[in-house]
Amino acid sequence: MPDIDLAAPLCPADLHSAATPVSVRVDASVRDRVERGRGFLRDVLDEKERPVYGATTGFGALVGFAGREEEADQCDNTLAHLGAGQGPDLPHDVTRAALLVRVWSLAQGLSGVSAHVIDGLAAMFATTFVPAVPRYGSVGASGDLIPLAYATQALRGRGHAYVEGRRMPAADALRQAGLSPLALDGRDALALVNGTSLTTAATALALDSVRASHRAIQALTCLLADLLGCDPGFLDPRLLTAYGHRGAADVADGMRKTLSGMRPSGTRALQEPYSIRCSPQLLGAAEDALRYVDGVVDADLSSVSDNPLFFPGDDLVVHGGNFFGQPAAFASDVLAMVTAQLGNLAERQLDLLVDPARNGGLPPMLAAGPGRQHGMQGVQLATTAFVSEIRRAAVPAGMQSLPTNLHNQDVVPFGTQAALRAHDMAALLRLLCGSLAVGLRQAAHVGARRPTAPGCGTLLDALSEAIPPVDPDRPLDADVRKAADLVTATLA
């Protein structure tokens, strides 16, 4: 079982590990700082005259009213009204990744939570327990309030959850997983929901997926160029140095290595279509944009997103806005734009490959017997639908602010929508990579030359071993998924 240490920084690999049972360690240093923060909260509350949002008050626009007197009642006061989500349940890997981000934030000791909250979440990760969390309801402004409330309620034994992939009442799921319901007071409950953990997790997972597709498209572009016999001059280092963009130079360097040893056929036109000739510029701009998203994700994974925060060493309770998911909203919008253009590139390359006017005389649709067979025709139709769906979803979410909550939340980032949308788009981009990969494998079957670059030959051999030729026609949906898995994993 993999091991995650809450005393160490989180990384995207930890979020992937959390999709299945994983050991989450709570060492003495974590316990000490959590208990110190909790003790400071108790001292502040004992003073009576120092208000603490959510512990002694109502929530959101009702902060000017007193909360419930009993701590257990204040927990219910926090969570009950947030049971307003709708829609399908979130993917399990996203939900568990969000809870890992949440427990890491709470484990920094600035949220005033009980130590048993950290222990309870750590215990959950060693099982297959997954809260059932509806997709719709968060605006990402006071954190992911509604989705995290559903997760918290499931950990208390309320609502629904999954164990071993089966959905059931949360109380039954806890029993089957060997877990005890979490007992929470008002501060514990608010700390569990008052952060951007779902937004951060979905952005990080989407980024990893898009990066894998980005690497795959670089390699598939090289294989396309080699199969067609293109002149690799469009990757000349002097050309890319003059272009002046670091991402383009780095991408071109990697593509030159993949194409090392390639011999052009001498039969192609002087200049290739932009989907080949401008690929280092396009992929390089994507690389520069992805590096920006890398920085946002790194910062969010090391962020304490909560309100208020408690600083025992300074005898200070600070009320502020660290639950505001604007950085991830902008980053996810950038990720959406990158995904859209990468998807465009893959779809246009497949279109070039199936067109006998541009593919060097290969049969139309790469059909082994045009008319009697149809080769890649169905796959190309599907890729057109995938690109259309990606384009429709690429409208920026981070600029869609709408005031809510009696204008307490008078600006909102919609980071949750941006992140989950980016996660969906990343899955479609993987399918576009798989579609192009199947097309390249089929091109080799219907007459394209054997790659002359050893790196391209290795990639084609892997595809040929995994994907039979389309001869005769057959459904290709599973082959596209298999090819997508192969090129995004092999080229990581």
Q: Cite the active site residues.
A: 53
Do residues 491 and 212 touch, judged by C-beta distance below 8 A?
yes
Do residues 300 and 196 touch, judged by C-beta distance below 8 A?
yes
Give me the half-sphere count of Cα atoms (radius 13 Å) on the Cβ side of residue 383: 30
Do residues 336 and 421 touch, judged by C-beta distance below 8 A?
yes
Give the DSSP H/E element, type plus range, for residue 118.
Answer: helix 115-125
Pick from 414, 466, 401: which is nearest to 440 by CA? Answer: 466
Asked if residue 308 has a cis previous peptide bond (ω within 30° of 0), the answer is: yes
Pick from 217, 30, 143, 224: which is nearest to 416 by CA? Answer: 143
279: left (phi over 0), alpha (psi -120 to 50) or beta: alpha
List beta partners, residue 66.
57
Angle between helices 115-125 and 92-106 (to 10 degrees): 150
Do residues 65 and 205 touch, judged by C-beta distance below 8 A?
no
Pick from 427, 425, 419, 422: which is nearest to 147 by CA? Answer: 419
Q: Tell me, what amino acid is at 478?
A: A
List beta partners, residue 162.
130, 167
Pick from 157, 129, 159: which is nearest to 146 by CA? Answer: 159
Q: CA 259 to CA 253: how far, in whole Å?
A: 10
Q: Which two tokens stand for residue 198?
A: 């779902």
List beta partners, residue 404.
409
Per the listing, tokens 């568990």 go with 96
Q: CA 210 to CA 366: how far, in whole Å?
A: 28
- Please count the other Cβ atoms lying within 10 Å of the Cβ belonging to residue 254: 17
Do residues 95 and 128 touch, judged by C-beta distance below 8 A?
no
Q: Cα–chain-centroid distance for residue 60?
A: 29
Q: Which two tokens stand for residue 296?
A: 């946002």
